[in-house]
């Protein structure tokens, strides 16, 4: 069944357009998007300005259960590696039912944060003792059930995780739930893809170069072959990772990846925080994209990426919420720009007036809209014919947008909004959040709270 919507203002082709008619086809994709139209009687008028949603291109859903619970340092130094040990403690406890409850809460929050598709980088596979579940995809189905419950699109990425570090023969004892090989990952991806669930698709992932040796990577590449699906990998997140890779291979991580494994446009490099101009040029030539996670990278003390290097090289970029200390793309974009401002002691770093792009928010947002499709395994994204009919309706009554001139609404949304700025959220042409409310939110919150009490105690 097709639907007609009408927006007095909508962000189309990189700018605000007036009186936009939006037609959704029977598959839940855009059939037509026509600015400058009179409102047809049959069209539903949307209650605010319309903008595209974004894909959350990197998620570890289970880590939502420790957001805000690792912000103390009792002694010594605290860094990514000490945080990781605490995260493993959580990973060793979770059951499928808890995974579903935590993911449902997260996925509802992501809808509220303006994401309508999430790429789940999923490595928590087996029972707590490391043995497979009766259905080896029990934890995967828990994630899929959570996404279905709230109506969020999900790209599930089973992860190849085979060793604890460069030169190591296998995993640490506290990584036992993560153990997979190339055949397991490919089988899991194929099963998820064949499930036929609405809004569910699959790709594959390699945890990192340190967690998969060259033979593992080549084996998975051989299984994937020419299949048109996304391939994700953590890379160059930490300085220690760079030092270890140099010691093991004589090359930096992105250098080694590009030389040995020849990534292409199906590859999505998560974090890519520490880079050289030469590495950026190699990635640009390959067609691969960068998935930046500013909130988590700030929380973990990872460092700041070379944002202008990636943008100027034309490398596609997308946002990820990763450990979920942040769960809205507006905050990720703000962190992305503010990190550069603090680093360079300049303002509007991402703006490019020489390219005709003087608005910082618009340049970053447009880059992320363009970069959203491929990490999720899609060919198109945004307000354009053929893309899935996902969109957001802004609340011009919220404090950050109240009284702001129409031309500056995107700037104010990213850099001045503090509260709920989204009035409605649509996925595949259907309203999932109306006035910020979801029909399942009470049940989702109850399940999440119960799981948190089981994990952390009742106080």
- Is residue 137 within 8 Å of 188, Cβ to Cβ? yes
Distances in Å between the Cα of 222 and the Cα atoms of 186, 201, 262, 298, 312 are 10, 21, 13, 36, 33
DSSP assignment, residue 400? Answer: T
- Residue 144 backbone dihedrals phi, psi, to 5 degrees: -65, -40
Q: Is 25 a catalytic residue?
A: no
- Is residue 30 within 8 Å of 40, Cβ to Cβ? no
- Measured CA to CA, the distance from residue 270 to residue 290 in angstroms comes to 6
- How far does the chain reach from its first CA to its final CA, in angstroms? 49
- Is residue 104 within 8 Å of 42, Cβ to Cβ? no
Cβ neighbours for 431, distance < 8 A, ≥ 6 positions apart: 424, 425
List 56, 216, 306, 322, catalytic entry: 322
- Is residue 32 within 8 Å of 12, Cβ to Cβ? no
Of 216, 132, 133, nearest in space to 182 by CA: 216
What is the DSSP annotation of 236-298? S-SHHHHHHHHHHHSS-HHHHHHHHH---TTEEEEE--S--HHHHHHHHHHT-EEEE-HHHHH
Q: How far is CA 124 from the centre of its chain?
A: 17
Distances in Å between the Cα of 83 and the Cα atoms of 75, 77, 79 are 13, 11, 6
List 271, 274, 324, 438, catalytic entry: 271
- Measured CA to CA, the distance from residue 298 to residue 317 in angstroms comes to 18
Q: Is 438 a catalytic residue?
A: no
- Is residue 203 within 8 Å of 378, Cβ to Cβ? no
46: left (phi over 0), alpha (psi -120 to 50) or beta: beta
Annotated catalytic residues are 271, 322
């Amino acid at each position: 069944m097709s639907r007609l919507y009408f927006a007095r203002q909508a962000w189309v082709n990189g700018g605000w357009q007036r009186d936009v008619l939006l037609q959704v086809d029977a598959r839940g994709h855009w059939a037509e998007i026509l600015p400058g139209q009179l409102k047809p009687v049959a069209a539903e008028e949307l209650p605010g300005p319309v903008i595209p949603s974004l894909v959350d291109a990197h998620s570890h859903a289970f880590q939502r259960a420790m957001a805000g619970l690792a912000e103390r340092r009792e002694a010594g130094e605290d860094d990514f590696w000490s945080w990781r040990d605490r995260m493993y403690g959580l990973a060793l406890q979770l059951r499928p039912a808890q995974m579903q409850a935590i993911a449902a809460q997260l996925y509802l929050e992501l809808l509220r944060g303006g994401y309508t598709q999430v790429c789940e980088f999923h490595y928590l596979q087996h029972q707590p003792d490391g043995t497979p579940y009766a259905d080896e995809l029990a934890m995967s189905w828990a994630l899929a059930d959570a996404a279905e419950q709230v109506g969020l699109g999900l790209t599930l990425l089973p992860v190849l995780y085979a060793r604890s570090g460069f030169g190591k023969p296998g995993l640490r004892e506290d990584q036992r739930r993560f153990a997979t090989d190339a055949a397991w990952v490919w089988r899991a991806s194929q099963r998820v893809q064949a499930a036929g669930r609405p809004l569910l698709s699959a790709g594959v992932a390699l945890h990192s170069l340190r967690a998969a040796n060259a033979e593992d990577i080549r084996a998975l590449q051989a299984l994937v072959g020419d299949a048109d699906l996304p391939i994700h990998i953590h890379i160059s997140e930490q300085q220690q990772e760079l030092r270890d890779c140099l010691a093991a291979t004589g090359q930096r991580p992105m250098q080694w990846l590009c030389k040995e494994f020849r990534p292409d446009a199906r590859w999505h490099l998560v974090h890519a925080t520490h880079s050289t101009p030469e590495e950026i040029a190699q990635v640009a030539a390959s067609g691969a994209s960068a998935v930046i996670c500013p909130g988590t990278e700030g929380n973990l003390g990872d460092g700041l990426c070379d944002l202008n290097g990636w943008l100027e090289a034309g490398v596609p970029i997308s946002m990820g919420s990763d450990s979920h200390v942040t769960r809205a793309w507006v905050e990720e974009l703000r962190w992305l720009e503010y990190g550069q401002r603090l680093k360079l002691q300049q303002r509007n770093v991402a703006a490019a007036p020489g390219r005709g792009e003087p608005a910082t928010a618009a340049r970053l947002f447009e880059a992320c809209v363009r970069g959203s499709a491929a990490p999720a395994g899609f060919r198109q994204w945004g307000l354009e014919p053929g893309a899935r009919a996902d969109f957001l309706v802004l609340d011009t009554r919220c404090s950050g947008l109240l009284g702001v001139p129409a031309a500056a609404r995107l700037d104010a949304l990213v850099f001045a909004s503090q509260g709920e700025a989204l009035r409605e959220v649509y996925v595949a042409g259907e309203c999932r959040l109306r006035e910020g409310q979801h029909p399942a939110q009470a049940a989702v919150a109850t399940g999440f709270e119960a799981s948190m009490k089981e994990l952390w105690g009742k106080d």
